[in-house]
Structure 1
Amino acid sequence: MKNGIESIFKAHLVPKEVYQGGKNIPPSDKKIYKLSSNENPLGASPKAVEAIKKAADRIDLYPDQTDIRLRQALAQDFDDKLNENQFLCGNGGSEIIDMILRAFINEGDEVIYSNPCFLPYSVFSRWYGAKLIDIPLLQPNYTLDVEGILNAISERTKVIFLTSPNNPTGTYIPKSVMDDFISRVPKNIVVVFDEVYRHFADAEDYVTALPYVLDGHNVIGLNSFSKTYGLAGQRVGYCYTTATIANYIRLIHKPFLLPQTSLEAALGALNDHGFIEKTVQTVQEGRKFLAKAFDEMGITHWPSQANFFIIDPPLPEMEFTDRMMDEGIMVRPVSQFGAPGKVRITIGDAEANETLVNAMRKIMNK
């Protein structure tokens, strides 16, 4: 029997796997290309940088108490198909995931997700005592197991996580599959649709959460300013959903959640349409270049709709990662994401992509 402080610890908060973000660029005399964290290949939006500089003069003051200005800007960005009350902003997409789980999960409730996927779905769910139900993506193409998920639903199921394009596989959920799935999910379950990489998708049958939210389904579209807008270091995320769900989650929204610099940066980046277009173009052109190069080298890879690829490396994943680092290229092994033996490679600018391919050819002696 525990008599110390451990006696009041929550039983489900036992030491388990924790999410570990990508590594930072280490000190080096040579140039290092960071292709491991899916960051923007062009850096940050210039308008966001300028907004941060202006906001720096006010960091001694508390920021906006709420996120209303950003929510209004987001509603406009969505062509006013949604109103500001249907948005929620937070300290990165991860903060939004945490808020959703805090709002809906009690100990013993069930959360369904599909590995390989973004690790916080399971790690954060465990914080609240959820029972984790993993319905893996179907091999060999990493497609959604719709029937498996629907068959796994029980009276305790509260949240289902879907991702499109998916991290770390880059694969997506076609509209016909989503239409069928959403039509069959019970009305008392929240579907979190992570679409953080949506700007990079160009498949004709790609779909976001928007049409399902507009139809009144219990769907939450999860987004971030870290990728397309180049604000990974400012930690700004948001989601949109029905007004009923948004207003409910807003009950646990902290005041002053977004720092002044982050808020102004997001507002600036949202209106930097030229930067957004250039980012998407850079990623899509780089995606074609790398896919062709991987094919020529005989590297197994999966068609991607995101700003990264998952590959089956020519060497064991950690050996490959270390060898690439020796060549000045940072890539990320993704066993932790549920894809053992695989490596994720972010699409960079033209110089980074060419350096990556040359490094891989050198390692493979091709």
Structure 2
Amino acid sequence: MIKEQEADSTFFKSYILEDSTYKGGGKKIVLPEGVTVHKLSSNENPLGFSDKVKMAIVNATENLSLYPDNTDARLRAALVKDFSNELSTDHFVTANSGSEIIDIISKVFLSEGDEIIVSQPCFLPYTAFTRWMGATAINVPMTTDYDYDLDGILSAISKKTKLIFLASPNNPSGNYIPQDALENFLSKLPTHVIVVYDEVYRHFAEATDYTSALPFVNKGYNIIAVNSFSKTYGLAGLRVGYCYASLKLSNYMRKVCKPFLLSSLALEGAIAALEDTHFVERTVRLVRTERAYVLNGLQELGITHWPTQGNFVLIDPPIADLEFTALMEQQGIMVRPVGVFGAPGKVRISFGVREANTAMLAAIKSLLNS
């Protein structure tokens, strides 16, 4: 048996030793034959992904023995086109998922002793990834209606504050920040603070006063917009994400981007996904239609839930969250308890195709009647 040399405790950073590992949604469960499983726990695209993406990936497998592009220049050029040429290639930074974009932001802007501000419930990597840099997370909780307390966030800013994380629509609550409210908030920020604006679910929002970060980037505010190919484009397995920001911020972030960062499959798949606007339109139409269907069904069942602009809804289940999740799984319905997000007792349900959503509502009804 090999005896390990005892490591000096000074090797290890205390804030990395803390358990801050992000744990995603569970894998699809296996039930007895004849029971259909509907995975409504990870906000994935119910349509899968584009056939054009599949073709691009298959073609790319012919050259797997070769290195991919040294840079992400072709993907950034495709993003410029997707944003109707309102931004240049230099405004974009790409990475292996939206989560890695958050990791890059943490690495380049945070040092030990810095502070970030989050509003729970929120996406776990905001706090987990920033803790790895030795930063402290200050939580300004959302209101009981799951709205941002923007005045409270402004009051919590200190000289140590470097980043403020906002999400619109927010995961797991589904709320969004109206355009006027966001502009008023940004106009009051001190210059040493950057807003990280997670807009991964932006395609699904249909509120008339919803806004992406685009107009504020163009106005020169200190804001970084985080995006992903996992939701709208159905490429969660490829792990591709990007952000856009003012040139001063984006050019600085790209200084830490590695050569050959994106695999050939991820690169070709993401470019093809941006080109297939028809698939995006189908996805958005499905999510918005099924969102209305599910929210109406929850209302009829008397299940407390909150307004949402995402491809999911937050509910207050009629029984304890973990018991509710387990009993739903017995009926083939996978949902996500979100106590670890900062919403104890609540459950998030993704919208699927009509068959899945109907089965989910029927499962809840059966629990209510049991």
TM tier, smaller: over 0.9
Q: CA deviation at 1:17?
A: 3.6
1:309-348 alpha-carbon deviations (Å, 9 max, x no partner) = 0000011000100011000010000001000000000000
Q: Following the alignment from structure 1 to structure 2, what is the Cα–Cα distance between the partners of residues 364 and 6?
A: 53
Q: SS state of the match for residue 12, structure 1?
A: helix
Give the secondary structure class of the aligned counterpart of 1:161.
strand
For 1:1-366, list aligned pairs within 5 A: 4-28=7-31, 29=33, 30-139=35-144, 141-365=145-369
Taking structure 2 as the reference length, the TM-score comes to 0.96
Letter in 2 for 1:15: E
Rounded to whole Å, the distance in 1 between the matches of 2:115 and 2:260 is: 31
User: Cα offset for 1:87?
Assistant: 0.1
Q: After the TM superposition, which parts of structure 1 deviate over 6 Å for at least 4 consecutive aligned residues?
A: none
C-alpha distance in 2 between matches for 1:326 and 1:103: 45
User: For residues 353 and 8 of structure 2, what CA distance do their matches in structure 1 show?
Assistant: 52
Q: CA deviation at 1:14?
A: 2.3
Deviation for aligned residue 1:18: 2.3
Once the 2 structures are TM-superposed, how far is the Cα of residue 155 of structure 1 from its aligned partner? 0.8
Describe the superposition over 1:21-62 as per-residue Cα deviations: whole angstroms up to 9, x where unpaired. Answer: 001113333321100000001011111111111111111111
* Distance across 1 between alignment mates of 2:50 and 2:200: 17
Q: CA deviation at 1:4?
A: 3.2
Deviations 1:173-203 (A, max 9, x none): 1111101100001112111100000000000
Cα distance between partner residues in 1 of 2:7 and 2:42: 41
Shift of residue 6 of structure 1? 2.2
SS in 2 for 1:358: helix
In 1, Cα distance between equivalents of 2:356 and 2:259: 41
Shift of 1:11: 2.6
For residue 197 of structure 2, give the secondary structure of its aligned residue in structure 1: strand
- Alpha-carbon distance in structure 2 between the residues aligned to 1:115 and 1:333: 15
CA RMSD of aligned residues (A): 1.0
Measure the CA separation in 1 of the matches of 2:258 and 2:30. 37
* Letter aligned with residue 160 of structure 1: I
Distance (Å, rounded) in 2 between the aligned partners of 1:241 and 1:15:
31
SS in structure 1 of the partner of residue 94 of structure 2? strand
Share of identical aligned residues, percent? 51
Aligned partners of 2:174, 2:250: CA distance in 1, in Å? 28
Q: Which runs of 5+ in 1 are unaligned?
A: none
Q: Distance in 2 between matches of 1:242 and 1:7?
A: 39
Q: Any unmatched runs of 5+ in structure 2?
A: 1-5
Separation of aligned partners in 1, 2:70 and 2:339: 40
Q: Secondary structure at the match of 1:158?
A: strand
In the alignment, the residues of structure 2 paired with residue 88 and residue 145 of structure 1 have an alpha-carbon distance, to the nearest angstrom, of: 29
Query: C-alpha displacement at 1:271, in angstroms?
Result: 0.9
Q: Is the 8 A contact 2:30 2:37 kept in 1?
A: no
> What's 2:3 paired with?
none
- What is the one-letter code of the residue matched to 1:202? E
In the alignment, the residues of structure 1 paired with residue 71 and residue 339 of structure 2 have an alpha-carbon distance, to the nearest angstrom, of: 38
**Could you tell me which amino acid in structure 2 is paired with residue 329 of structure 1?**
I
Q: State how far apart, in whole Å, the 1-side matches of 2:212 and 2:8 are.
A: 46
1:19 Cα deviation after fit: 1.2
User: Aligned-pair distance for 1:10?
Assistant: 1.3
Secondary structure of residue in 2 paired with 1:344? strand
2 CA distance for matches of 1:88 and 1:170? Answer: 26
Kept in 1, the 8 Å contact 2:313–2:349? The answer is yes
Structure 1: which amino acid aligns with 2:191?
K
Report the 3-state secondary structure (helix = DSSP H, G, I; strand = E; otherwise coil) of the residue aligned with 1:232: coil
Cα deviation, 1:55-93, whole Å, max 9, x if unaligned, reads 111111111111110001001110100000000000000
Amino acid at match of 1:37: S
SS of the residue corresponding to residue 133 of structure 1 reads: strand
CA distance in structure 2 between the aligned counterparts of 1:114 and 1:199, rounded to whole angstroms: 22
CA displacement, residues 251-310 of structure 1 (integer Å, 9 cap, x when unaligned)? 111111111101101011111111100100100000000111000000000011000000
Aligned counterparts of 1:341 and 1:291: Cα–Cα separation in 2: 19
